[in-house]
């Protein structure tokens, strides 16, 4: 995926910062650090074209900023809320957003259920929890026309089936460009099933 020179520079600076901090605090597993460009950065960047055109976004359980920080680099004019309860990881996100000059990034060092967020056009989460556990956050934070964007591995269909027992939603599937066994789910019209 080709990026504008300024975007490429920011992605490279983010990569360097992440690897430097990863020595001190475990932001990504050592096994995936060697393949950071494909396994993490490109994997997150492919979500960019699937985002709604405008409106604030949030990444729940942002960790190292995957995908939230990568998406904020790709769309620096959009308001991004990165929610991370681990104080050390939140400190990394604050430092990264300052060094990368991303003033539209807001870091929330708290658990997702305690975050105070505006109505969002999109909620993302990567490798955080099963779909059924993520949907309550999506419903809590999304504007009425908002969407949830969740990259999922081989368990995507199983998670959809389990979530559908308690939730109504319109699912769209997009094949991952970086992992043949993975799927990106975009869910809209999310509502809890009434008992």
Whole-Å CA distances, 33 to 5, 30, 37, 134 = 24, 5, 9, 26
What is the structure's pLDDT at 32?
A: 65
pLDDT digits (tens, 9 = 90+) for 143-193: 999 999 999 999 999 999 999 999 999 999 999 999 999 999 999 999 999
User: Are 119 and 100 in contact, with CB atoms under 8 Å apart?
Assistant: no
pTM (global) more than 0.85: yes
Q: How many CB atoms lie within 10 A of CB 25?
A: 12
What CATH fold (topology level) applies to the domain 5-192? Rossmann fold (3.40.50)
Handedness of CA 65, 71, 75, 79 (dihedral sign): negative
pLDDT digits (tens, 9 = 90+) for 28-60: 777 666 677 777 899 999 999 999 999 999 999
4 pLDDT band (50/70/90 cuts)?
Answer: confident
Could you give the CA distance from residue 154 to residue 74 in angstroms, rounded to a whole number?
A: 27
């Amino acid at each position: 995926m080709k990026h504008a020179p300024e975007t490429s520079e920011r992605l490279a600076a983010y990569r360097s910062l992440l690897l430097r901090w990863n020595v001190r605090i475990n932001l990504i597993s050592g096994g995936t650090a060697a393949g950071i460009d494909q396994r993490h950065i490109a994997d997150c960047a492919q979500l960019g074209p699937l985002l709604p055109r405008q409106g604030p976004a949030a990444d729940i359980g942002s960790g190292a900023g995957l995908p939230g920080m990568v998406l904020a680099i790709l769309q620096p004019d959009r308001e991004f809320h990165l929610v991370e309860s681990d104080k050390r990881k939140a400190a990394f996100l604050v430092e990264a957003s300052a060094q990368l000059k991303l003033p539209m990034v807001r870091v929330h060092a708290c658990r997702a259920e305690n975050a105070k967020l505006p109505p969002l056009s999109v909620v993302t989460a990567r490798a955080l929890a099963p779909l059924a556990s993520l949907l309550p956050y999506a419903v809590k934070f999304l504007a009425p026309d908002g969407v949830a964007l969740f990259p999922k591995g081989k368990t995507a269909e199983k998670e959809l089936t389990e979530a559908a027992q308690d939730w109504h939603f319109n699912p769209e599937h997009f094949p991952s460009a970086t992992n043949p066994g993975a799927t990106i789910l975009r869910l809209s019209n999310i509502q809890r099933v009434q008992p």
